[in-house]
A and B are shown apart, each in its own frame.
Chain A
Amino acid sequence: DAGVIQSPRHEVTEMGQEVTLRCKPISGHNSLFWYRQTMMRGLELLIYFNNNVPIDDSGMPEDRFSAKMPNASFSTLKIQPSEPRDSAVYFCASREGATDTQYFGPGTRLTVL
């Protein structure tokens, strides 16, 4: 199993630009999570999908952030427009069924200049 796949691994962009992060969950997993990790705030849950449907997006910072899951094998997290304070590592994780264990991808390190 390839595990959770995220792309790109690194992204450097300028303030105001649109950023799209991608995630492919583990095959057969029906829940997908997007997290943001910073030194100051640690791991923060942004949004959670179950069977491709967004369940809880209360962690999404503001309207500049949006996430989609068009099918069971793909999700995107978009930031438009990006700001320097969005610089962080963004992780995608997936989970099978009703279990609690989440499996993380390698993350995307985003730098907004």
Chain B
Amino acid sequence: GQQLNQSPQSMFIQEEEDVSMNCTSSSIFNTWLWYKQDPGEGPVLLIALYKAGELTSNGRLTAQFGITRKDSFLNISASIPSDVGIYFCAGQPVPQTGANNLFFGTGTRLTVIP
């Protein structure tokens, strides 16, 4: 199946630090999505990207759809303790499969130290 390589697998950072994580694929994607999962909860959509080169912000979060359409980046500025969680990238590859479903990265586990 489709492989999404997400890195880093985990991060330990100090509060107020900036965070950067990325996701790469061996094939071209139509859509990139970034989700955050809090402990004991389901993934919640943070940002959706639909065009190569697109840069979208949501508060302190900024994500970009890579020019090659094979990667995406998520940055968090001035981290706070509630940023703790697992961040997943997800994408819809081209050509679309018959199921038209998303493929998920393995997640980046973020720990913010106060």
Summed over the interface, the residue pairs from A and B with CB atoms below 8 Å come to a total of 54
Contact: A55 with B98, CB < 8 Å? yes
- The main secondary structure of chain A at its interface with chain B is strand
In the complex, per-residue mask of B10-49: 1 if CB is within 8 Å of any chain A CB, else 0: 0000000000000000000011010100001111110010
User: Given A42-B107, A100-B92, is A107 in contact with B41 using a C-beta cutoff of 8 Å?
Assistant: yes
Quote the shortest CB–CB distance from A15 to chain B (angstroms).
24
User: Given A42-B107, A43-B104, is A104 in contact with B44 using a C-beta cutoff of 8 Å?
Assistant: yes
User: Given A45-B101, A55-B99, is A106 in contact with B45 using a C-beta cutoff of 8 Å?
Assistant: no
Other than the given A48-B101, A98-B100, A101-B48, 13 more pairs (CB < 8 A) read A31-B100, A43-B43, A45-B99, A48-B99, A50-B100, A56-B99, A91-B42, A93-B42, A100-B48, A100-B92, A102-B90, A104-B42, A104-B44
Binding site for A on B (CB under 8 A): 30-31, 33, 35, 40-45, 48, 88, 90, 92, 97-102, 104-107
